[in-house]
Amino acid sequence: MKRAFASNLVLLLGINFLIKPLYIFGIDREVQNAVGPEQYGLFFALLNLTYLFQIVNDFGLQSFNNRELSHKPEKFPVQFSSLLAVKFGLSLAFLLILTGAAALTGYLSRQPEWLLGIAANQVLLSLLLFLRSNLAGLGMYRADSLLSSFDKLVMIFLVGFFLLNNPESISIPLFIVCQTGSYLLAIGAAVAVLRPRLREIVFRVRMPMVRWTLRSSAPFALVMFLMYVYTYIDGVMIERLHSDGAYEAGIYASGYRLLDAIGIIGYLFAGLLLPMLSRQLGSGHSVRPLLDMGAGTLWSVAVGVSIVTFFFSTHLSEWLYLAANNSWGQVLGRLMLSFLPWSLTYIYGTLLTAAGQLAAMNRLFVGCILLNVLANLLVIPKYGAAGAALTTLATQTLAAVGQYILAVRKFAELRASTFPVKGVVLLLLVFFSTWILSTFDALPWMLRMCLALGISGFLSILLKMISIKEWIHLLSTQHKE
């Protein structure tokens, strides 16, 4: 299982490092530079509003389906059509609830076309993720990996065409329409890959299965809803609570873009780990080797990128954005530090989900929401995006520490892991070495930043957080097979 994890992770990272950074920095960033922080800030707030209700659109079906098929792939012909019917019903409910919420908050009257376009895209994205969950659950990891960036590749060509040939035409509505086209093409590709398996299916909605699915998915849905609330409510609260809300939301979006970019790695780790950990638990095998490998690798990446970005945040912001200043760098630095606890959530939260420990996670996430909302109510009116970034760091830290404690209580074997000690040592060494490098003003800032990243990687290998020999062995063995 470690071998499968290693080979597919390398494939996933290779694809996503080629495509998604190009999309995030070459397309999404350029759109913000073209339309300005206020316009993009409003778009960001509307997008985050749709995320708050995205759980109605998904209701945990993706995680539930992935987990169920990983345990029993033979269920696919029986449950696919029923789950698809549930999916369409949930999407309709999502659109109705979102429209009502937007009317109550005043967003529907401000930019109704933007909101409805974003909502439609969320429906398409959710359908794409549902189709991909079938691929992952059936063990078709490579196909799932290849599809993970297909929509972004299409966006690069579509929006890139306008950026290169007619940059004055760039607008938020055009951006939304291009997203719609990319999701439709990606869904078509996913259906084409699944087509051989779809022939086994009799498309008939089985109401007992629908009711069973909704009951079974409810715990997953609650987990996802609570996580979405404390993760995405910041953008909406900034736009609503601050006197210059759209501009502050634009600043927050500029920093969140880099957090989202590095978060791709954690998301891919979790997507691969969930079905594999489910199979390990189902077969009674130990989860520690696979977990230690994933945690060590992801934590090494998180420490290097987060700490280095924190010390060079102002330089990076001014390099990336036309309107950036010191306050933009401050927001970026604080947000990137939150990837440290977020990376642990991707590992230990995935383990708890695979083990079905959802009730305990839900209680923890309720506490995270209370912390996030109350803190934002206090800091956003005065400090804007900078205050919200600190709240994000505090909330993600509470979530990560809580999930780690829950995982250790459930799996006693994790107490013997050396990962926590080595992880703290790596964090301290990288922090102080990067701090020292950041003071050498005689060297160009980008050179100092690259040196800091190199030192971080070296320390990760030295502390055996990342085992080069093990990765080479696993990948070479997979290639021979």
- The per-residue pLDDT for range 423-460, each reduced to its tens digit, is 999 999 999 999 999 999 889 999 999 999 999 999 99
Confidence of residue 477 (pLDDT cuts 50, 70, 90): very low
Is pLDDT above 80 for 145?
Answer: no
Answer with the residue of higher pLDDT: 138 or 402.
402
Q: How many Å is the maximal CA-CA distance in the chain?
A: 70
Query: Which tokens is 345 given?
Result: 């959530």
Cβ-based neighbour number of residue 261 at 10 Å:
18
Beta carbons within 8 Å of 374's beta carbon, 6+ residues apart: none
pLDDT of residue 160: 94
| CA dist., res. 382 & res. 434, Å (int) | 31
pLDDT of residue 200: 65
Beta carbons within 8 Å of 472's beta carbon, 6+ residues apart: none
| CA dist., res. 127 & res. 122, Å (int) | 9
| Count of CA atoms in the C-beta half-sphere (13 A) of 137 | 28
User: In angstroms, how far is CA 370 from the centroid of its own chain?
Assistant: 22
Degrees, nearest 5: CA angle 101-231-340: 175
Is pLDDT above 80 for 310?
Answer: yes
- The per-residue pLDDT for range 325-334, each reduced to its tens digit, is 899 999 999 9
Section 303-330 average pLDDT: 94
CB 52 within 8 A of CB 19: no
Lowest-confidence segment of 134-148, 179-193, 223-237 by average pLDDT: 134-148
Query: Which tokens is 13 given?
Result: 């990272």
3-state secondary structure the chain: CHHHHHHHHHHHHHHHHHHHHHHHHHHHHHHHHHHCHHHHHHHHHHHHHHHHCHHHHHCCHHHHHHHHHHHCHHHHHHHHHHHHHHHHHHHHHHHHHHHHHHHHHCHHHHCHHHHHHHHHHHHHHHHHHHHHHHHHHCCCHHHHHHHCCHHHHHHHHHHHHHHHHCHHHCCHHHHHHHHHHHHHHHHHHHHHHHHHHHCCCCCCCCHHHHHHHHHHHHHHHHHHHHHHHHHHHHHHHHHHHCCCHHHHHHHHHHHHHHHHHHHHHHHHHHHHHHHHHHHHHHHCCCCHHHHHHHHHHHHHHHHHHHHHHHHCHHHHHHHHCCCCCHHHHHHHHHHHHCHHHHHHHHHHHHHHHHCCCHHHHHHHHHHHHHHHHHHHHHHHHHHHHHHHHHHHHHHHHHHHHHHHHHHHHHCHHHHHCCHHHHHHHHHHHHHHHHHHHHCCCCCCHHHHHHHHHHHHHHHHHHCCCCCHHHHHHHHHHHHHC
Answer with the residue of higher pLDDT: 347 or 271.
347
Across the chain, mean pLDDT equals 86
Lowest-confidence segment of 8-17, 92-101, 223-232 by average pLDDT: 8-17
| CA dist., res. 201 & res. 210, Å (int) | 16
Query: Which tokens is 285 given?
Result: 């095998």
Answer with the residue of higher pLDDT: 261 or 216.
261
What Cα–Cα distance (Å) separates residue 474 from each residue in 191, 276, 289, 480, 481? 31, 16, 13, 10, 11
Residue where the block lists tokens 């995205």: 54
| CA dist., res. 375 & res. 360, Å (int) | 23
CB 63 within 8 A of CB 299: no
Degrees, nearest 5: CA angle 345-84-179: 65
pTM of the full predicted structure?
0.81
pLDDT of residue 413: 85
Percent of the chain with pLDDT over 90: 51
| CA dist., res. 186 & res. 151, Å (int) | 5
Of 405, 424, 339, whose CA–CA distance to 367 is shortest? 405
What Cα–Cα distance (Å) separates residue 256 from each residue in 252, 329, 409? 6, 11, 33
Query: Computed over its alpha carbons, how large is the radius of gyration of the chain?
Result: 22
What Cα–Cα distance (Å) separates residue 326 from each residue in 42, 175, 312, 319, 386? 22, 28, 11, 12, 11
| CA dist., res. 199 & res. 214, Å (int) | 25
| CA dist., res. 151 & res. 28, Å (int) | 13
| CA dist., res. 314 & res. 324, Å (int) | 8
